[in-house]
Amino acid sequence: MSGKIFMYLFVFALLYIVFQFSNSKKGLEMQEEKIGKLSEDKEELKREKDSLINLVDATGRFSLLDSDKAKMYIEDRGFEVNEFNGLLQAQILDKNSIDKDNPLVPYQGMQGNMAINAIKLLNHKWGIAEFTDGKYWGELMFKYFINEDKSIDIEVADSFIYAN
């Protein structure tokens, strides 16, 4: 009788070991699959990060604040670069009005008055601006000139309005 009990215990232990082995093997395969997927995701995110870094590097080249030559030009004219940047942007934004279109925008507002809402100075001579009337919007490229008396003249070079 005790021989049968030991045989049943042995068979039960053997079945238990086989079950644990197959269960752990499935768990290990699932973990390896997850690790492989996470490694692929990590590589994809690394590629996206690299492309974003390249994009930031490329767009940083076209900025007054990042161009040493443009900064030297502004400083040679008697301005501090950050002060000049703020001064020119204020001069452009001051042309926005509640009751009429901004005179720099070559389009008439259809749903309100055209107003410039964003400006970026590309270098010591060029800038871009975004404008809108609340529904329609567009962009314009402008040239600016620093006169001997430290006044600034602005001239629109080109513009477009997006079709809705």
Q: What is the pTM of this model?
A: 0.60
101 and 115 together in one domain: yes
129 and 146 together in one domain: yes
Nearest CA among 67, 152, 127, 124 for reference residue 116: 127
Are 139 and 131 in contact, with CB atoms under 8 Å apart? yes
Split into its structural domains, the chain has a count of: 2
Which residues form the domain of 12? 1-60
80-122 residue pLDDT tens: 988 998 899 999 988 888 788 888 888 888 888 888 999 998 8
Q: Cα dist. 2→5, 7, 9, 137 in Å?
A: 5, 9, 10, 92
> Which of 44, 60, 76 is where one domain is finished?
60
132-149 residue pLDDT tens: 888 888 999 999 998 889
- 154: tokens are 């602005």
d(CA 43, CA 63): 31
77 and 140 together in one domain: yes
43 and 73 together in one domain: no
- 80: tokens are 């501090």
49 and 88 together in one domain: no
E-state strands within the chain? 115-121, 126-132, 137-146, 152-161
Instruction: Using pLDDT thresholds of 50, 70 and 90, give the confidence band for residue 156.
Output: very high
